[in-house]
Amino acid sequence: QSALTQPPSASGSPGQSVTISCTGTSSDVGGYNHVSWYQHHPGKAPQLMIYEVSKRPSGVPDRFSGSKSGNTASLTVSGLRAEDEADYYCGSYAGSNTWVFGGGTKVTVL
């Protein structure tokens, strides 16, 4: 049950794109398509942005997209907006009814 690896920070100017990586192992990210991404504004409830690697829940803008290759998943935020500034966490099913999150990436909109 080791945490997934994310870069601590990422940044971009308004209108640009930013991509966040999430690296796990063949026992979690690489072994299942149950990878998800969460946006968390401090002091508020985290919000699901992507599930099953690349699917968006209703209401999430299509500026948010997800992908996976091997043991690494990625979240891309296109057309950055000020309100996208937040902490982003990846999560993955890790087998045997357990889940694991990444350490989080703070996205700054310059």
Q: How far is the CB of 32 from another protein (least distance, A)?
A: 8
Per the CB < 8 A criterion, the answer to whether 59 and 39 are in contact is no
User: Residues near 30 by Cβ (< 8 Å), separated by ≥ 6?
Assistant: 24, 70, 71
Per the CB < 8 A criterion, the answer to whether 57 and 44 are in contact is no
Residues 53-72 that bind another protein (CB under 8 A): 55, 57
Q: How far is the CB of 75 from another protein (least distance, A)?
A: 13
Q: How far is the CB of 51 from another protein (least distance, A)?
A: 4
Q: Which of 50, 31, 45 is nearest to 91 (CA)?
A: 50
Residue 39 amino acid letter: Q
Does position 103 bind another protein by CB under 8 A? yes
Residue 8 vs 110, nearer CB to another protein = 8
Query: Which residues bind to another protein, rule: CB under 8 A?
Result: 1, 3, 34, 36, 38, 40, 44-48, 51-52, 55, 57, 89, 91, 93, 96-104
